[in-house]
């Protein structure tokens, strides 16, 4: 999604840095145009209603990114970096816990920033890691640290402390 291109580029840089710690056979994929356009991997929240489609990679373990903007300024963009890695945790269940709200039928989804501002979220993309779900926690923590260090506004509360 073009709106979040600079954040996605920074995420990809972080994934590239993380991949340096892995054997080439286990490198994580980058967020490329194919992933962004693939409805099985991404969701434009304003375009498709809650009940019209399954969560992207909903039955997988892995990492996910929820992108949003500050509606008071429209130009302050943000991202939430999350993971689903525990025994009964799947990406779909995690996204449901973040996005299921009384205004979902109106295609309005919000996440609260640590400063109390409700960011409007409008895009989700995922990277399934079913072959090595245990790495999801490390990837999430690495990317939160990396993005914060590089000036990206995070909606993660723990990552912002």
- Listed by start position, the domains of the chain span 2-160
Q: Which residue has the higher pLDDT, 115 or 64?
A: 64
Residue 108 has pLDDT above 70, yes or no: yes
| 130-154 pLDDT, tens digit each | 999 999 999 999 999 999 999 999 9
* pLDDT tens by residue, 66-104: 999 999 986 899 999 999 998 789 999 999 999 999 899
pLDDT at 160 over 50: no
Q: What's 1's DSSP letter?
A: -
**From CA 14, how far away is CA 18, in angstroms rounded?**
6
CA distance 64 to 122: 14
> The tokens of 104 are what?
């979902």
Prediction pTM value: 0.95
> Could you give the angle at the alpha carbon of 143 between the alpha carbons of 139 and 148, nearest 5°?
160
Angstrom distance (rounded) from CA 100 to CA 13: 31
């Amino acid at each position: 999604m073009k709106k979040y291109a600079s954040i996605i580029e920074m995420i990809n840089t972080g994934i590239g840095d993380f991949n340096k710690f892995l054997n080439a056979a286990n490198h994580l994929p980058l967020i490329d145009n194919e992933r962004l356009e693939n409805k099985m991997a991404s969701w434009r929240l304003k375009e498709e209603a809650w009940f019209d489609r399954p969560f992207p990679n909903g039955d997988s373990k892995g990492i996910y990114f929820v992108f949003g903007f500050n509606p008071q300024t429209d130009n302050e963009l943000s991202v939430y970096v999350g993971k689903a890695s525990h025994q009964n945790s799947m990406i779909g269940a995690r996204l449901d816990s973040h996005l299921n709200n009384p205004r979902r039928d109106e295609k309005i989804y919000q996440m609260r920033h640590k400063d109390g501002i409700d960011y409007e979220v409008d895009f989700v993309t995922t990277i399934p890691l079913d072959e090595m779900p245990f790495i999801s926690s490390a990837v999430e923590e690495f990317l939160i640290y990396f993005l914060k260090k590089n000036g990206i506004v995070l909606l993660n509360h723990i990552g912002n402390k």
